[in-house]
Structure 1
Amino acid sequence: MVQITPIKDLEPDDTRKFIEAKVYRKWIATKNEETTPVSLCSILIDEEGTGVQVNINTNDSAIFDKYMQINKAYRISNFICEKTLDWQRTLPTKVTLTIGKCANFEPIPPDRFPQHCFHFASYDEVCNRIEYQTPILTDYIGCICNIGNIQHSKNPNSRKYFRLIDIIDLNNNYLQLILWNERATSFPIDEYESHTKPVLIAVSSCWPNIFTGTGMVQLKPTPATYYYLNPNIPEYQNSISAYRELFSQKPMLLADKNRRQDPQEEQRRNRITLQELNTYDFQNNKVLRNNKYTCEAKIQQVENNRPWFYASCDKERCNKKVGGKIHELLCPTHGTLKEANFSYCFRILITDGTSTITLALLCNNAEKLLGISCKKMIVELGFDNKYVLPDPIKALEGTTHIFQFHYQSPNQYMVDDIFPINHTATYTPPNTETPPTADIDTPKTNTPKMKKNLFTSSDEAETAAKKQKKT
């Protein structure tokens, strides 16, 4: 009688063993970004749910095509067990099987084999594994909170493109699954959209990693990585109710992060009331901090307890804060300047009838709202006292707009965009014999006398404005 060996008991250099297993996954391995196959690979799982990788030489593709059929099961013999090297590891199993023309395949019923093979790690375990010198293959399950668009690698010599899948667990821990090339383009978005939200994803055989640019925990794929939406496994059945309860209480955990090209669609993306917004704990939730929200609201007040603009050096690659009187502007690097860059930096209190929040308005968004550049406001209209709000800015109070914004710091949000609702601030300069008939940006022949004051601003406003210019 043939003795069947469990996969977990296979040892390197074993050759006279029999196993019974089901074909779970298969793929064609290539070298780097090349398309030429270097190996034909698959994963088998036995009755105990233990997986093992199988490698088949590309010259034996007939075996791969005939026997490595997903969900088919066989009694297999005449294979070689080799020690799994760290660089080629896709499973925690200590051996990898090499199969050639002499291998024997006897078909058997697949019903008694498990449908999936997972060994899920918690978020804390994923973080701990990042620090190991020898990476540990990781399976993970969580809820999809965003599907990113296809992005191209920033490396100009690379042909790679990728997609980021944002995943959250029941403790509001947040990480990303990165999918490259074909995996990125073939992600089943239509299937995702067809499911009732929330949708859980189970992903297998990934390397835990920290993305140095953002400090975000990421799961990097290996050749054996695969993902399943709402898989029929006990972990899904045991947790889906809890996820539904979580997202019914905090629907913005599933906020849409993909910008729309159509402004009408974009201004409806992640629409929220300020009352709901104020219930969220932004400081302790990365998912919420990374979202952009929109709300139709009225400007209740423009704050006047801080400078409303700041000046910076106009020399290339400088942009340092400028000090001095308006006709004696001084840059720490370039000395006395004839010209400078002027940028808005004021805050507004808005209300939608349910609650209020404070928004920071900088640079282009403030200019979009006012219809005039900061430099023209100062130089042409003569509002050069940074501590006294100009009349055009005061005229914003009482106007209604659709604001798009994100969390910046406790009790303050940063404006990302503004959509008009036929309410615009209007201002007519005083003592004007002939009111301008054109837009307020129309150049004037008579420039009012400049007031003398210092052009300085808080570091916080300057830093935020620089970030907005880069975006």
Structure 2
Amino acid sequence: MRREEIKVTLWGDSARKVDIETIENLPPPVLMVMTSLKVKKKPSNTNHTCIFINPEIPQAEPYKIEFSKATDNIKKLPTPYKQLTAAEVKKVDKTTVRKLNKLNPKEYKNQLVYCKAFISRFSTHDGWWYEGCPQCYKQLTVKKNSDLQVCLDHSVQIPLPCYRVHATIEDPNSEATIKLRGKPAEQLFGITCRDLIDRYPYAPQETLPQEILQTKGQIHIFQIQINEANGFIVKGIFPSTKNQPSASTPAHPMYDKKRSVDKGRRQLFATTPDKKART
């Protein structure tokens, strides 16, 4: 009501559920109510965010009266690059994993490429999360002669757990290693990194939670940015039109070969029933 501006960032499913065309066709003012936002320098949605357009609640009336002026029409801000909808992703040209490996990073550094593949395995050689700066998400370093953790750009910070998961994706002819970070990783695993660590506070870095492991075999369309130093960085994940494979049905014959190996491994973070007490 004070006409102060604040920018809110919506990610993943929450962003895709916002029907921009319908909102633009509604007579002003259009009131949007959002719940469960993550409050920081720029608020963003969480996995539990709900969005309501013009809700029928008493509190909405004062806002409608205040923002009914001609100058209050909806304004669209420019985006840094073209954001594709799920329907547009289905039509976009997709590369194979073999071709993905052959792309020149210098030629594609400012482009996003799309690759349809399934996740076959994960690597834990440097853990699946790191302690990052809550402002820029860069990895924190320990200050010399102290236990304080600092960011090179933002001084001393309280660490924020951030995903850094290395995964191997495959299609029928080849495989490649991708890096899952930030919102795409949260979208894929269905939980924030902080919440997952809170769920398993004593889990070692080398042990992958079941929330991550259960995505093995799933087919997705990966939106990838090619980085000369860091390899293939996933910037977005879209569902495939094919049915997701179940635990009993391999996604691909190549995945089936690995099942005999995986069966012998201990299922991490899985709960087992307590043994019956002796009588």
Per the normalisation by structure 1, the TM-score is 0.31
What is the deviation of 1:409? Answer: 2.5
Aligned partner of 2:114 in structure 1 is 294
Alignment of 1:374 with 2:197, yes or no, is no
Contact 2:119 2:168 in 1 (8 A): yes
Partner of 2:97: 274
Quickly say closer, same or farther: Cα 1:270–1:411, change in 2 above 3 A: farther
Pairwise CA distance, 1:293: 1.2
Q: Which residue in 2 is equivalent to 1:262?
A: 85
Shift of 1:392: 2.2
Instruction: Report if aligned partners of 2:124, 2:205 keep a CA contact under 8 Å in 1.
Output: no
2:26 maps to none
Corresponding position: 1:400 with 2:216 = no
Structure with larger RCO (C-alpha < 8 A, sep 6+): 2
Distance apart, 1:310 and its partner CA: 0.6
Shift of 1:272: 1.1
Equivalent of 2:127 in 286, 298, 307: 307
Q: 1:322 to 1:383 in 2, by over 3 A?
A: farther
Q: Is the 8 A contact 1:268 1:294 kept in 2?
A: no
Hey, what does 2:178 align to over in structure 1? 359
Paired letter, 1:430: T
Q: Deviations over 1:365-423 (max 9, x none)?
A: 11100001101111123364223222322222222111110211378211010012353
How far apart, CA to CA, are the structure 2 residues paired with 1:260 and 1:381? 35
Q: Does 1:331 align with 2:152?
A: no
Counterparts of 1:425 and 1:308, CA distance in 2: 24
Structure 1 pair 373/349, CA: closer, same or farther in 2 (3 Å)?
same
CA contact (8 A) 2:130 2:139 kept: no
**What 5-or-longer segments of structure 2 have no aligned partner?**
1-79, 248-267, 275-279
Aligned to 1:430: 271
The residue type equivalent to 1:309 in the other structure is W
- The correspondence for 1:415, drawn from 234, 245, 265, is 234
Shift of 1:353: 1.0
Normalising by the residue count of structure 2, what TM-score does the alignment of the two structures yield?
0.50
Q: How does 1:58-77 map to 2 (within 5 A)?
A: none
User: In structure 2, how many angstroms separate the alpha carbons of the residues matched to 1:299 and 1:401?
Assistant: 8
Q: Output the aligned Cα RMSD.
A: 3.5
State the shift of 1:349 in Å.
Answer: 0.7
CA contact (8 A) 1:370 1:392 kept: yes
Distance 1:423 1:276, change over 3 A: same
Q: 1:401 to 1:318 in 2, by over 3 A?
A: closer
Q: Is the 8 A contact 1:313 1:322 kept in 2?
A: no
The residue type equivalent to 2:166 in the other structure is: R
Amino acid aligned to 2:234: V
2-structure distance, mates of 1:359, 1:318 = 19
1:38-49 correspondence to structure 2 within 5 Å: none
Whole-angstrom distance in 2 between the partners of 1:296 and 1:401: 6
Unmatched 5+ residue regions in structure 1?
A: 1-256, 434-471
Partner of 2:5: none
SS for the counterpart of 2:102 is coil
How many angstroms does 1:306 deviate by?
Answer: 1.5
Q: 8 Å contact 1:408–1:414 — kept in the other structure?
A: yes
Q: Distance in 2 between matches of 1:425 and 1:362?
A: 25
Give the Cα–Cα distance (whole angstroms) in 2 for the partners of residues 344 and 317 of structure 1.
14
Quick check: 1:348 aligned with 2:167? yes
Secondary structure, aligned partner of 1:278: helix
Paired residue total: 167
Counterpart mapping for 1:92-131 below 5 A: none
Identity within the alignment, %:
23
Residues 258/323 of structure 1: CA separation in 2 closer, same or farther (3 Å cut): closer
From 385, 390, 397, give the equivalent of 2:209. 390
* Pair 352,258 (structure 1): closer, same or farther in 2 beyond 3 Å: farther
Matched AA of 2:171: D
The answer to whether the 8 A contact 1:383-1:390 is kept is no
Q: Secondary structure at the match of 1:298?
A: strand
- Give SS of 2:117's match: strand
Q: Which has the greater radius of gyration?
A: 1
